[in-house]
């Protein structure tokens, strides 16, 4: 097997020059780089990644734990994390907690044993704080994904309160007053924030909340379907429904179909989350879509920043979802083009184009 010495001899350069070319640690001339790269190809030299990691006290790997890799929004976040990790030569180790604190704790243990350089995690709904506290004490960088709450940590997610208020206000502006919410598990920070957005919109329009129209549960599609069937079977059933996630939207739509309810004639419908191909439904579905891929990319950028500068101020980043107003909550003639909600007041910078973000330091709330 060829060694770095063989490469240096064939290229006619020093060992340090070969190292600089491979690691990008110092500029070399184009001619020298070409000779070294040609020598590597001719000798078939392959670096010993494990030995290199030991010398650098790094494994060039990062851990990612999410609650459900089967959900489209988490799948896009994973894709975003992996994209940036790959660009920087890092291997991604993925674990699925399935909203189970025990599985989450086991994933944390395994990733620690693998000596990953950093961790990105969407904590489970009933997460045990002890394993995560031990991880923080180890000093290995940590970034919270999607489910925010601790401003002393780097974290990235989506704005939930105002965008949900925008979604519900849209239904209120169309004359609906009995608007139900499939809220899901309020132990999940993102879902609790979306419930707050729902209540905020009602308050702004002078509508007194009806607790019987706010349905909680596991947030899984089957649970949501059962809850929606009961809801739609009431004599005083709601005229409009908002769901707080994709699984709950799927369950509610299945229940509406079983009862023969037509959208939007019998029931106005809107969903917060990324329903795959929502524009292909009949009628097309009104949604508040998260920039899930960019959330994942930003989480990996925050982790890289923390690896490069362990003493940097913690950063909280919230990206804005996009409001897609379609025919499921009004007549087709009323539908308008997708739009992004107006920014909320806050400090920091905003990202242009279809999404914007607020970035702040330790005083920010997640």
Q: Cα–Cα distance between 111 and 144 in angstroms, integer? A: 16
pLDDT in tens, 193-221: 999 999 999 999 999 999 999 999 999 99
Q: Cα–Cα distance between 228 and 213 in angstroms, integer? A: 10
Q: What does the mean pLDDT of the chain come to?
A: 86
Cα 34 to its chain centre, rounded Å, is 41
| Average pLDDT rounded to a whole number, residues 170-195 | 96
Q: Which two tokens stand for residue 94?
A: 């993925």
Q: What is the pLDDT of residue 28?
A: 82
Percent pLDDT > 90 in the chain is 67
| Average pLDDT rounded to a whole number, residues 179-190 | 96
pLDDT band (50, 70, 90) for residue 275:
confident
The domain limits of the chain are: 4-47, 61-158+292-320+346-360, 161-289
- Closest by CA position to 244, among listed 277, 265, 275, 282: 275
Cβ-contact 156, 299 below 8 angstroms: yes
| Average pLDDT rounded to a whole number, residues 251-277 | 93
Q: Cα–Cα distance between 9 and 114 in angstroms, integer? A: 36
Q: Which two tokens stand for residue 90?
A: 């890092």
Q: Which two tokens stand for residue 280?
A: 């292909």
Cβ-contact 198, 232 below 8 angstroms: no
| Residue 186 vs residue 46, higher pLDDT | 186
Q: What is the pLDDT of residue 334?
A: 45
pLDDT band (50, 70, 90) for residue 80:
very high
**Sign of the Cα pseudo-torsion (231, 233, 239, 240, in order):** positive
Q: How far is CA 350 from CA 167, 303, 353, in A?
A: 22, 20, 10
- Is-same-fold flag (61-158+292-320+346-360; 161-289)? yes
CATH 1.10.260.40, applies to 4-47: yes
| Residue 361 vs residue 245, higher pLDDT | 245
Q: What's domain 161-289's architecture?
A: 3-Layer(aba) Sandwich (3.40)
pTM for this predicted structure: 0.76
Q: Cα–Cα distance between 253 and 164 in angstroms, integer? A: 19
| Average pLDDT rounded to a whole number, residues 162-167 | 97
Q: What is the pLDDT of residue 48?
A: 56
| Residue 241 vs residue 19, higher pLDDT | 241
DSSP assignment string, 24-85? T-S---HHHHHHHHHHHHHHT----HHHHHHHHT--SEEEEEES-TTSHHHHHHHHHHHHHH
| Residue 279 vs residue 358, higher pLDDT | 279
The yes-or-no verdict on residue 51 having pLDDT over 60 is: no
Burial 134-157 (b: 16+ CB within 10 A, else e): ebbeeebbbbbbbbbebbebbbbb
| Average pLDDT rounded to a whole number, residues 256-274 | 95
CATH of domain 61-158+292-320+346-360: 3.40.50.2300
Q: What is the pLDDT of residue 57?
A: 67
């Amino acid at each position: 097997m060829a060694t770095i010495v063989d490469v240096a001899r064939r290229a006619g350069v020093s060992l340090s020059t070969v190292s600089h070319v491979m690691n990008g640690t110092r500029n070399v001339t184009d001619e020298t780089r070409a000779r070294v790269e040609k020598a590597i190809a001719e000798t078939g030299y392959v670096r010993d990644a494990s030995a290199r990691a030991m010398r650098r006290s790094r494994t060039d790997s990062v851990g990612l734990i999410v609650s459900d890799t089967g959900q489209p929004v988490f799948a896009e976040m994973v894709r975003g994390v992996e994209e940036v990790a790959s660009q920087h030569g890092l291997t991604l180790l993925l674990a699925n907690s399935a909203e189970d604190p025990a599985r989450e704790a086991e994933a944390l243990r395994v990733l620690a044993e693998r000596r990953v350089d950093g961790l990105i995690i969407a904590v489970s709904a009933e997460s045990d704080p002890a394993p995560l506290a031990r991880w923080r004490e180890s000093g290995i960088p940590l970034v919270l994904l999607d489910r925010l709450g601790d401003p002393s940590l780097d974290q990235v997610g989506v704005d939930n309160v105002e965008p949900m208020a925008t979604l519900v206000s849209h239904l209120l502006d169309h004359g609906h007053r009995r608007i139900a919410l499939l809220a899901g598990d309020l132990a999940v920070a993102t879902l609790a924030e979306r419930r707050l957005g729902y209540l905020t919109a009602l308050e702004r329009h002078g509508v007194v909340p009806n607790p019987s129209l706010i349905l909680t549960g596991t947030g899984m599609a089957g649970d949501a379907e059962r809850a929606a069937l009961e809801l739609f079977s009431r004599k005083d059933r709601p005229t409009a429904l908002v769901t707080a996630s994709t699984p709950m939207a799927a369950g509610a739509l299945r229940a509406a179909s079983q009862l023969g309810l037509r959208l939007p004639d019998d029931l106005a419908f809107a969903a917060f989350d990324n329903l795959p191909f929502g524009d292909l439904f009949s009628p097309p579905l009104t949604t508040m879509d998260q920039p899930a891929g960019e959330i994942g990319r930003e989480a990996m950028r925050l982790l890289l920043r923390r690896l490069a500068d362990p003493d940097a101020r913690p950063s909280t980043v919230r990206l804005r979802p996009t409001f897609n107003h379609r025919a499921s909550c009004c007549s087709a003639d009323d539908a308008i083009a997708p739009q992004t909600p107006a920014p909320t007041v806050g400090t920091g910078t905003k990202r242009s184009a279809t999404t914007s973000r607020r970035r702040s330091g330790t005083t920010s709330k997640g």
